[in-house]
Chains A and B, each alone.
Chain A
Amino acid sequence: LSDKIERMIKSVRQKWVPEFQLQYSTDIPWTPHQKNINESKVSLISTAGVYVKGETPFTDHYGLGDPSYREIPLDTPPSQLDHFHEHYDHTNAYKDINCIFPIERLKELVDQKFIGSLTQYHYSFMGYIPIPHPLINRTTPNLVKKLLMQGTDIAILVPT
């Protein structure tokens, strides 16, 4: 592992989770893309902690993280979106939500016929999850089922 990753592991252990273990795998899930992009249905998945105002925000749990996700209906006005995540600078996201959750740009790509369509729901995690087991065993399999039910062809992950 690189020195940078070793320093990150040490920092998480010192500041937040003493028993933190880095999850590392060389496995690459691979499905060749068969459809044309302009005929494909797209779902957006962000790790920026985006949620609809009035719904339960993410919480840091005093450094233990949050493995849950939020559903964001496609027709949610951008002014109704908020974001909670203690581990990145929100300055640009407050100016323009598309910096972290580019849903308006994806709608424009549908208008341009660059992509086929968008699913009815899009998703956000808060990308600070130092205890990953609930994410791996519960929330991610649950989200995958929702994507399959909506007929998602392409999931675009925007990490923050």
Chain B
Amino acid sequence: VKPPRTLVLRFPFGSPVGQPNDKDQQIAVLKEAFELLYNDEPGLIKESTIKYNRKA
């Protein structure tokens, strides 16, 4: 089956929620994922704008 709602993040393998100890980034990722619930398109795949390296 395909997931009903997907948030795509260009993050390294092994760090899907964000950088270690970067609470703000991790919270932002989770909030964006939860907000997909307000969209009613089955199988929605959203490309996140959150960058892994914010200072780069």
Contacts and interface: CB of A to CB of B under 8 A. Distances in A.
Interface of A: 25-33, 37, 88-93, 95-96, 98-100, 102, 105-106, 108-109, 114-115, 154, 156-160
A105 B3 CA distance: 22
A25 B1 CA distance: 5
Contacts of A109: 27, 30-31, 34
Given A25-B2, A29-B4, A100-B16, A154 B37 contact: yes
A91 B14 contact: yes
A93 B16 CA distance: 10
A156 B30 contact: yes
A102 B30 CA distance: 9
Given A28-B43, A96-B21, A99-B19, A105 B26 contact: yes
B50 to A, nearest CB: 14
A6 B35 CA distance: 33
